[in-house]
Amino acid sequence: MKTYVLEWGPHRLELGPRTLILGILNITPDSFSDGGKYLRPEEAVARAQEMVNTGADIIDIGGESTRPFSETVTHEEEIRRVVPVIEALAQRVSVPISIDTTKSAVAESALRAGAAIINDIGALRMDPGLADVAAEHNVPLILMHMQGTPRDMQIEPRYDDLFAEIKAFLEDAMETAEKHGIQRSKIIIDPGIGFGKTKDHNLQILKHLDFLETLDRPVLIGPSRKAFIRKILNINNGPELPPSHPLVETGTQAVIAAAIMKGAHIVRVHDVANTFATATLLDSLKQATVGNETQ
């Protein structure tokens, strides 16, 4: 696997030798897995510190749910939710904080509060001004593929050529970023598991994740507790398994293992501790060589 090094401000991330873990912290009342659990800043900060202590390399903070059929919130409300948490957390952890937003105003406020990465599921389509904010602050930018918007993305998503369309979308997004002054070396790409994809689309992406190698950027995968995992595990066609069900987390770890073996550099997850164990073992497996007698 090719190694990438991102250096900016006080931060340095080496992507390749070891899978990095991005811990999810949703400051929302309606996210599909942990909505409503961390609305109070002190609870959110404690949760973030717990994730860092159990292996998170990045904390990803979001103030707007992007689950299927979700409604948008104003940038003022999003800022109200995330900025106090970022301000408090930035004083307590040394790992970079990512702001999960599609809005330039939110990104600007978050970066000023102590965030150091922008995670844009809209890939600069929802607010072109986000590119200018990333360029001005010279921070890494995560660009994700999504067909449609969270509100309509799961209404019969279709592709003529799944891999070609995702690659073209991400290449266009990277070109847009570069036109706004963002260095390509600061870009991370995400094929958008669960965002405008059927169960089979998600499985094909995971099975052939190395199709993104030609884009020559580090790859982030975010399959944690997604609906396609719950559907596959619902073998008796009973009530849908809730995201918090132990089987769903087991399924998530299986998917993460597959993604790591196919070249994922970063995995975005809810359960950092279990993912740390999975990633550590899979990284060791990838690095194993004939003649290594270490027990």
Active-site choice (47, 67, 262, 268): 268
Query: Average pLDDT by consecutive 10-residue portion of the chain (295 residues)?
Result: 94 96 86 56 90 98 76 88 93 96 97 98 94 98 88 79 97 97 97 94 97 97 94 84 91 97 97 97 89 56
**What pLDDT does residue 35 have?**
46
Contact 47, 38 (CB under 8 A): yes
Q: Is 197 a catalytic residue?
A: no
**What pLDDT does residue 44 have?**
87
Measure the CA–CA gap between 270 and 272, rounded to whole angstroms. Answer: 6
Active-site choice (217, 225, 226, 230): 226
Q: Is 225 a catalytic residue?
A: no
Contact 102, 121 (CB under 8 A): yes
**What pLDDT does residue 38 have?**
61
What residue segments make up the domains of the chain, in order of their start?
A: 17-283
- Cα 228 to the chain's mean position, in Å? 17
Contact 210, 162 (CB under 8 A): no
CATH number, domain 17-283: 3.20.20.20
Task: Centre a 10 Å sphere on the Cβ of residue 261 and count the other Cβ atoms it contains.
Answer: 14
User: What is the amino acid identity at position 33?
Assistant: S
**What pLDDT does residue 73 have?**
85
Kindly list the distances between the CA atom of residue 251 and the CA atoms of 20, 99, 254, 275, 281, in Å, as whole numbers in the listed order: 19, 27, 5, 12, 16
Measure the CA–CA gap between 121 and 8, rounded to whole angstroms. Answer: 22
User: What is the amino acid identity at position 4?
Assistant: Y
Q: What is the 3-state secondary structure (H, E, C) of the chain?
A: CCCEEEEECCEEEEECCCCEEEEEEECCCCCCCCCCCCCCHHHHHHHHHHHHHCCCCEEEEECCCCCCCCCCCCHHHHHHHHHHHHHHHHCCCCCCEEEECCCHHHHHHHHHHCCCEEEECCCCCCCCHHHHHHHHHCCCEEEECCCCCCCCCCCCCCCCCHHHHHHHHHHHHHHHHHHCCCCHHHEEEECCCCCCCCHHHHHHHHHCHHHHHHHCCCEEECCCCCHHHHHHHCCCCCCCCCCCCHHHHHHHHHHHHHHHHCCCCEEEECCHHHHHHHHHHHHHHHHCCCCCCCC
**Residues 6 or more apart whose Cβ sits within 8 Å of residue 273:** 54, 55
Sign of the Cα pseudo-torsion (154, 224, 74, 97, in order): negative
